[in-house]
Chain A
Amino acid sequence: MKDFITNMKGALLKLWKYTKAIFFKYRYLWRRIGIAIFTLFLSTFLIFLLIRLVPGNVVDDYAIKLVEQRRITFDEARILAVQILGYDPDASPFTQFWSYLKSLMQGNLGQSMSNPLLSVNDVIKKNLPWTLFVSTLALSFSYLIGTKFGSISAWAKKGFRKKAIDGYTIVGSSVPDFILGLLLLFLLSFKLKLFPGQGAYDASYSTPGLNLKFLIDILYHAALPVLSYMFIQTANWTLMMKGSSISILGSDYIVAANARGIPENIILKKYLRKNAILPLITSLAISFATLFGGSPLMESVFNYPGIGQQFSIFIVQKEYFMIIGILFFTSAIIIFVNLIADSIYSLIDPRIRRNQG
């Protein structure tokens, strides 16, 4: 019995220690999370105010339909429309925002006003995977290639490789990605007929699910958007990596390694790349946000069923809650990715933590 109590005590003490450690050692992290959540809600409210400025509203549109259907006056129809849609355009933005927050607490990111079947959760479930699929593919490839290119470009003094890479980065950073997408679509899909011109997969060829045929089909359909993103993103990563590498090149340990006669490609791989890549981790989040924000354009070029294309449709339809829901979710992802990137970075590099704690 006594043993048990001491054991318990020990266990509790340990638990307390860990909790304390989690709360205090990483308190900079908790503070950040707190700030992040606060920022998220504030930005949602900002968007909410913004959207209310869009002329016209769903309630009036719906009321017109009801007038037609039920032969009642517009005023009656409007009251009814408010009832059916559960949204009052005349209420104060704070009341509206509060009711939105309440539904948010129940896990509902937003409900379509004209279509009772549709919620932001559905759209995210259905369309987000496609956007994620394309942007993660593009991002990871361009990250891998770009960092390699960047370090080579910084390391090499002359030569074919450096010239080729430098020339490419200029072209790559001057073309907007969706314009390149359009060009590829025109040349490779319409003129040479090498790639499909629209959609995420061909339902008459493959059925969704875990099978090789479907996997090949979606990769085939995603090829052009991924290529267009990649071409531009790789150039960006090359530039960033080059900058980061140059700042490291002058440091003592590289000079020392050089002096010790360590082979060039080992210095390049083990010394330069490993250290220069660290600060780039935080940029991952920013790149992700850029791809995400630009997705309406790329997806409209390729008629790709991602969340960006759906977002443009909702803007035109004045689906307030859908717009807010999607933006809320996107911001949340961006903040989350940012947070993770920062934390990883600060865990790897304790100097950062000390500075910010």
Chain B
Amino acid sequence: MELLHTFFNWSVFVDALPLMLRGLGVTVLLGVVSIILGLVGGLLLAMLRLYAFAPIRWLARAYIDVLRSIPLLVLLVLIYYALPFVGIRLSSFAAAAAALSLVSCAYSAEIFRSGIEAIPRGQFEAAASQGMSFFNTMRDVILPQAMRIVMPPMTSNCINVMKDTALASVVAMPDLLKQATQAQALAANPTPLVGAAVMYLLLLLPLVQMVSWIERRNAAGGKSA
């Protein structure tokens, strides 16, 4: 009974729920924005890393390596607390979205690259022999095939971005975790934290299962069709 009262206190939960739902909305919005920016940036970065002129290629590679090495929390704190000293003042949402998508696009660039490099040379040659431009070759021939290959790792990456949104509570962004910790302090009861954990699970478990489903389907379906 004591345990139930402490961790699953219904009245505390109901009191905290409106703020937590608002927090959940912020979390999802931050996650979706960062995922989209990360995917677009990652694709662009992968193209530069593979096909740009040498100096740009090196820059893209350096960017990818650096951003994959720096801890996300460190980058977030740098953006939010250090950039104001050079006059760049971002809202907590913008700072979190920037940090998340800057890191995410480095990871997704590498995932895209691995997918593109897995496409047989004959596909590039067939498209080239028909006079197709680089853009058309990528859009119609290479990327649709590469996307299928990178689907599982890319979805995992997106899940990571969604999970890492919780770090934004460090820069005082009113996301799900921040709202939950505040409600916990207010009620002097950890139920909101438990509620937040459950909400994260409800949000992310289906995505995790989707990855396994895609992987199973790819394994069963062979390499094409």
Partners in one complex: no
